[in-house]
Amino acid sequence: MENLHIVASAKTPEVLFDSETGVLLLKGRSIPENSIEFYKPLNDWIDSYASKPSTTTCIDMKLEYFNTSSSKCILDLFKKLEKLDGTTVSVNWYFEEDDEDMEEAGEDYQAIIKLPFKMIEVEEI
């Protein structure tokens, strides 16, 4: 299947979903007024990926900002990953030094989603 690549914009993150390696990347900011539209192709891609996933699937969340409209879409994305069969799924949640809000946001998802989360502090995302 084809990889999914979306170039970042002022309000949306870069997306790079690789079906072969099972590495899914979201990087940048996710602050569109209506996030449903933006997240639809990501959800669709995961639906197709579900039929033939890589042995491991890892989503790298490298977000600088996200709004509450996106927060629900991100949760739905995690819920889709949670349901994948035949692959070991994990989440890498990146946050910048001193960004306790982003760290807490990762912990919020961790509290809701039953996937292993790795919290990774970096100097700059």
Partner 1 sequence: MEEENVILSFKGIVTSELLTSVLHIMEAKMDSLQEAPRTRKKVFNVLVECLQNLYHHVDETPLLFSKEVIERKSALVLIVKEQDHFIIRTGNYIDNKKAKDLQEKLNIINSMNKDELREYYQLSLNNAMVSNKGTAGLGLIDIARKSGNKLDFEFLTINEESSFFCLNVKID
> Strand order of the sheet with strand 14-17?
4-6, 14-17, 23-30, 56-66, 88-96, 117-122
What are the DSSP calls for 65-86, one per residue? EE-HHHHHHHHHHHHHHHT--S
Q: Does 32 bind partner 1 (CB under 8 A)?
A: yes
> CB under 8 A: which stretch of 20-28, 30-38, 48-56, 85-93 binds partner 1?
30-38
Q: For residue 60, list its beta bridge partners.
A: 25, 92
CA distances from 74 to 1, 28, 42 (A): 23, 14, 10
For partner 1, give the closer residue by CB, 51 or 111. 111
Question: Which of 5, 40, 72, 83 is the binder for partner 1 (CB under 8 A)?
Answer: 72
Least spacing, CB of residue 55 vs partner 1, in Å: 29
Residue 114 is a binding residue for partner 1 (CB under 8 A): no
Residues lying near partner 1 in the complex (CB under 8 A) are found at 10-11, 31-37, 65, 67-69, 71-73, 75, 96, 98-102, 104, 108, 111-112
